[in-house]
Amino acid sequence: MLAFVKSHYSGIFVCAVIAVAASALAQRYQAPVMLFALLLGLALHFLYESKGHRPGIDFCSKHVLRIAVALLGVRIAFADIVSLGVMPPLIVVGSMALTVFFGILLARLLGLPKVFGVLSGGAVAVCGVSAAAAISTVLPKKAQQEKFFALTVISITALSTLAMLTYPLITDFLALDDKQAGVFIGGAIHDVAQVVGAGYSVSTQTGDIATYIKLLRVALLLPIVVMIFFAFREKSSSLSGGVTGLVPGFLIAFLLLALANNLGFIPAALAEVIKNVSGGALVLAMVAIGVKTSLKQVVSVGWKPVLLMTFETVFFALLILAGIFATA
């Protein structure tokens, strides 16, 4: 334990200081904290060149990230999702699956790695930055993976913010009722905060429905990540590790926390603490990923990844709208 502290404390401390600064800036300017965390990390990439900082930064980017994803399980509320009925979830689930496959296909057409199509498509379809973080932990490690992840976070945040501003206008232009508007906003916008902002800007009912739909997408994070894990698991990987040899331990923890919370085993006050810890850990991990990633490398990937994510976002929104009008 002492050896771990000696080798990791400086890197973890650096990430923690940057995370606090990112949180302060996000609160001051009312902007996504994940974006500030990543951008500040990218700006301070030179810190990763220090051998003293590197072990702690690597620990935050990998292990703290997995802890944060596991703790996301307490955010799942099955009762709210069931209350929506059958058709809205079917529309959203079908659109999510098609968007992931669309991302893979378009990535190939643009000459981008298949793993980036999965990462970006999953981030758009599920829940933005959190989904990108979870999916990245089970994808095979490639030379360009971290800069693609950084680009995914930046793009998904920008696109989600743009959607928050424009999608309420689209619901008004298309004369959607409150329920339809809620399904569209909750189904098509990437991040939870933007869903809430856009939904309640239309009406209280729209905001409630949008939030429930968004929770459905978050609830599907676990099965989607597990499927991606099995799809990309190397043939040489051993299954001798028991259950965790088949499914990563942090995903099992995610499921157990979701079940425990929905069965009432976790007091509301404790659940709120866990949510806050999860959010803080995710910010810390995002900082570490930013510090590890060279901004020059991110820029070097070119315009194709941004184009891919833009098309995925538009494709996903059109699918949700098509489902709404088909069942109207």
pLDDT (0 to 100) of residue 20: 96
The model's pTM: 0.70
Confidence at residue 236, expressed as pLDDT on a 0 to 100 scale:
39
Residue type, 184: F
Give residue-wise pLDDT tens across range 279-316. 899 889 889 988 987 777 666 667 888 899 999 999 99
Nearest to residue 73, comparing CAs of 259, 228, 244, 270? 259
φ, ψ for residue 140, nearest 5 deg: -60, 140
126 and 221 in contact (C-beta within 8 Å)?
Answer: yes
pLDDT of the residue at 269: 94
pLDDT in tens, 20-31: 999 999 899 887
Cα distances (Å, whole numbers) of residue 203 to 80, 215, 272? 18, 18, 26
Instruction: State residue 62's pLDDT score.
Output: 84
The pLDDT value given to residue 184: 94
Distance CA 232, CA 229 (A): 5
pLDDT band per the 50, 70, 90 thresholds, residue 243: very low
Closest CA to 213 of 21, 83, 316: 83
Which pLDDT value is given to residue 312?
94
For residue 79, pLDDT beyond 60: yes
Query: How would residue 250 be classed by pLDDT, with cut points 50, 70 and 90?
Result: confident
Q: Does the pLDDT at position 248 exceed 70? A: no
Q: Which residue has the higher pLDDT, 20 or 209?
A: 20
- Chain segment 89-135, per-residue pLDDT in tens: 888 889 999 999 999 999 999 998 888 899 999 999 987 877 888 88
| pLDDT for the residue numbered 145 | 67
Tell me how far CA of residue 10 lies from CA of 16, 57, 167, in angstroms.
10, 9, 44
User: What three-state secondary structure class fits 266?
Assistant: coil
Share of the chain above pLDDT 90, in %: 33
Contact residues for 135 (Cβ-Cβ < 8 A; gap 6+): 118, 119, 122, 123, 224, 225, 228
Longest CA pairwise span in the chain (Å): 63
Give the model's confidence band at 81: pLDDT under 50 very low, under 70 low, under 90 confident, else very high.
low
- Kindly report each contact of residues 105-111 with a partner whose C-beta sits within 8 Å and lies 24 or more positions away, as own/partner: 106/308, 106/311, 106/312, 107/308, 110/304, 110/307, 110/308, 111/304
Q: Residue 45 carries which DSSP code?
A: G
pLDDT of residue 237: 42
Looking at the chain, the whole-number percentage of residues with pLDDT higher than 70 is 91
